[in-house]
Amino acid sequence: MIGRDLLGIEDLDRADIERILETAERMQEIGEREVKKVPTLRGRTIVNLFFEPSTRTKASFEIAGKRLSADVVNFTASSSSLSKHESILDTAKTLDAMDPDAVIVRHRVAGVPKRIADVLEAPVINAGDGAHEHPTQALLDMLTVYQEKGRIDGLTVAIIGDIAHSRVARSNVYGFSKLGAEVRVAGPPPMIPRDVATLGVKSYHSLREALDGADVVMALRIQLERSTGAHFPSVREYSSTFGLDRSKLRYAKDDAIVMHPGPVNRGVELSPELADRRPSVILDQVRNGVALRMAVLYLISGRPGPTAKEDA
Ligand code: NCD
């Protein structure tokens, strides 16, 4: 994957995904050491280019780069020349001229990471673009499920909530389907995308039916900032029909796990009590995110060193 862009799970095949997950499992060990740092990416530069707010994704990429000894530079829209109206592509090209080894991009408009990737020398990693894709989130979700369940093939994964506006849902639909899981989506009609059938998943408007027999229940944040507002149910109505709590979770398998990409609207998608305790694995997802992003950075920006070249 050296030098390749990572724009979406749609572009990956099963072997790519498995390779990333296996590499991430090896990276987890580094995070358990007393000194959580290895020299693997020493001398490499990684640029975080975030045009949209982010807590966990940005911090996770930064920590991942630092654990591999890369130099990580953070650009946020408000503190860079973007606030002086420099165009996105000009900003990206300026950063590219400084020779980074990977550029991580988040933007509220779908397709911006791809447009940036088209003009940059450096490989681009999509850290979330509009309602399109968020590949590293889906990869860390797959890693979490794999480690909880010992497999992904044959599992039933129910994704609940604002599917239409969720890049996390889209990337997870592609990812879990490619690894052989049955993926279901559920939510009120305006939150189910019109093209849902083309994604190859079953959609439900009843939480109970969607959860029946589910091994994994993934709740999503209601993306009020991406909705037009008009057709959305009230928050109260949403939480009474689709908000998860322990009693509704009984519809799923006894050993079902509960996931959420964060940030959680407590009491809306998840009851606070469920968010904080097993079977919820939300903090494991966050923890796994660092190892997963180390794997992605390593696979994409770790140029073969002298030994690798000598071997070739
Ligand atoms: C998600 C995002 O930004 O796409 N959060 C994340 O990256 N962990 C989900 C969200 O905003 O609801």
Residue 263 CA, ligand 1 centroid: distance in Å: 7
Instruction: Tell me which H or E stretch contains 219.
Output: strand 216-219
Neighbours of 156 (CB within 10 A): 21
Report the amino acid identity of residue 52: E
- pLDDT for residue 312: 37
pTM of this prediction?
A: 0.93
- pLDDT for residue 121: 93
**CATH class of the 135-282 domain in this structure:** alpha beta
Task: Give bridge partners of residue 306 from the DSSP assignment.
Answer: none
222 phi and psi angles, rounded to 5 deg: -70, 120
* Count of alpha carbons within 13 angstroms of residue 131, beta-carbon side: 16
Closest residue by Cα to residue 106 from 53, 62, 66: 53
Residue 61 to residue 57: CA distance in whole angstroms: 6
- pLDDT in single tens digits along all 312 residues of the chain: 888 999 999 999 999 999 999 999 999 999 999 999 999 999 999 999 999 988 899 999 999 999 999 999 998 877 666 666 678 888 888 889 999 999 999 999 999 999 999 999 999 999 999 999 999 999 999 999 999 999 999 999 999 999 998 999 999 999 999 999 999 999 999 899 988 888 899 999 999 999 999 999 999 998 766 655 556 678 889 999 999 999 999 999 999 999 999 999 999 999 999 999 999 999 999 999 999 999 999 999 986 644 343 333
- pLDDT for residue 8: 98
Q: Is 139 touching ligand 1 by the criterion CB < 6 Å?
A: no
Residue 167 CA, ligand 1 centroid: distance in Å: 8
Q: Is 261 touching ligand 1 by the criterion CB < 6 Å?
A: yes
245 phi and psi angles, rounded to 5 deg: -140, 180
- pLDDT for residue 310: 38
The arrangement of strands across the sheet holding 182-186 comes to 202-204, 182-186, 156-160, 216-219, 257-259
SS3 content of the chain, % helix, strand, coil (to 5): 45, 15, 40
Nearest ligand 1 atom to the CA of 167 is 4
Write down the domain spans for the chain. Answer: 9-133+287-311, 135-282
- pLDDT for residue 304: 60
Domain 9-133+287-311 has CATH 3.40.50.1370: yes
34 phi and psi angles, rounded to 5 deg: -70, -45
Task: Give bridge partners of residue 72 from the DSSP assignment.
Answer: 46
Residue 168 CA, ligand 1 centroid: distance in Å: 7
Give the SS3 label for residue 61: helix
The two domains 9-133+287-311 and 135-282 share their CATH topology (first three levels equal): yes
Neighbours of 254 (CB within 10 A): 7
What DSSP state is assigned to residue 232?
Answer: P
Residue 59 CA, ligand 1 centroid: distance in Å: 13
Q: Is 57 touching ligand 1 by the criterion CB < 6 Å?
A: yes
- pLDDT for residue 308: 40
